[in-house]
């Protein structure tokens, strides 16, 4: 897959907050990942757009290019080591650097523990936790070599408060929060900034259901989250403004969890 691009006409305009940066966003073929990729591109970043579904990755890259961005679609399953290595290699070949990694790819299923086939458990942990580890594992050495980097992990309020039918998801997301803190302790003195976002219920294609509507009714803010409620937090964490945030989990969640 080649880089989708069209020329940018920004003569005389102020440069974006992420001008000159390269971002790799996983699961950017839809929902939150796509919105983050679009916002980063709007701030001048060049994007590697990953999704397990190649058609989705390509569609996002085309959207970004139509708006004047530079985007490389990189199909791959974040839980598969060879796919992640390939994705990182292609990104570096196209852009020579990766400044920002957003570990966003995710799935959600609803199953009671007493009925959960172990393969459902394993898949959940693999996509969220192994995926976050693998992408970080193969991007981090390049950031360390460059002397800077931003890693943003998308967790969930379920990783903080739990949820019935969601033990596998909640455990994976709690793991992402623990991974974020521990990695921050390892690398923050080497100028790698690691933080997480734990969104509350956000309206995306993945969430429209009666269960979602019930969850939203219990939210203190009284409405579902929108993509616009998450994107500014991701932009903040990707920008220089967040350099004193270390291993934190930011919570745009409509009041679902108050810390």
Residue 135's closest CA among 148, 126, 124?
126
H or E segment and range at residue 85: helix 81-95
107 touches ligand NAD by CB under 6 A:
yes
Residue 225 DSSP class: B
Query: What does residue 127 show for φ and ψ, rounded to 5 degrees?
Result: -65, -50
Residue 112's closest CA among 169, 45, 166, 181?
166
Residue 150's closest CA among 227, 71, 243, 45?
243
CB of 75 to ligand NAD, least distance (A): 8
154 touches ligand NAD by CB under 6 A:
yes
Q: Which listed residue (95, 138, 169, 179) is catalytic?
A: 169
> Which of 148, 188, 191, 207 is in the footprint of ligand NAD by CB under 6 A?
207
> Which of 41, 79, 130, 247 is in the footprint of ligand NAD by CB under 6 A?
79
Is residue 169 annotated as part of the catalytic site, yes or no? yes
254 touches ligand NAD by CB under 6 A:
no
Interface stretch with ligand NAD, choices 26-34, 39-47, 65-73, 178-186 (CB under 6 A): 26-34
Question: How many CB atoms within 10 Å of residue 171?
Answer: 18
The residues of the shown chain that bind ligand NAD, judged by CB under 6 A, are 26-27, 29-33, 50-53, 56, 77-79, 104-108, 127, 131, 154, 156, 199, 201-202, 204-207
């Amino acid at each position: 897959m080649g880089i989708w691009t069209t020329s940018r006409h920004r003569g005389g305009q102020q440069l974006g907050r992420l001008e000159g940066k390269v971002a790799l966003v996983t699961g950017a073929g839809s929902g939150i990942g796509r919105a983050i990729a679009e916002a980063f591109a709007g701030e001048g970043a060049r994007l590697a757009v990953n999704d397990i579904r190649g058609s989705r990755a390509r569609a996002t890259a085309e959207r970004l290019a139509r708006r004047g961005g530079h985007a490389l679609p990189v199909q791959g399953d974040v839980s598969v080591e060879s796919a992640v290595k390939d994705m990182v290699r292609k990104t570096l070949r196209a852009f020579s650097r990766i400044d920002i990694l957003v570990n966003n790819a995710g799935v959600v299923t609803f199953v009671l523990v007493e009925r959960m086939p172990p393969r459902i458990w394993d898949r959940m942990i693999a996509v969220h936790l192994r995926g976050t580890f693998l992408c970080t594992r193969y991007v981090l050495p390049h950031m360390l070599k460059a002397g800077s980097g931003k890693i943003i992990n998308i967790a969930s309020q379920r990783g903080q408060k739990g949820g019935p039918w969601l033990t596998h998801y909640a455990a994976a997301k709690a793991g992402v929060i623990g991974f974020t803190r521990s990695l921050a302790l390892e690398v923050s003195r080497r100028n790698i900034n690691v933080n997480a976002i734990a969104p509350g219920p956000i309206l995306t294609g993945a969430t429209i259901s009666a269960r979602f509507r019930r969850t939203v009714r219990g939210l203190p803010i009284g409405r579902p989250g929108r993509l616009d409620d998450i994107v500014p937090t991701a932009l903040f964490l990707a920008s220089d403004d967040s350099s004193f945030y270390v291993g934190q989990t930011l919570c745009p969640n409509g009041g679902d969890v108050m810390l």
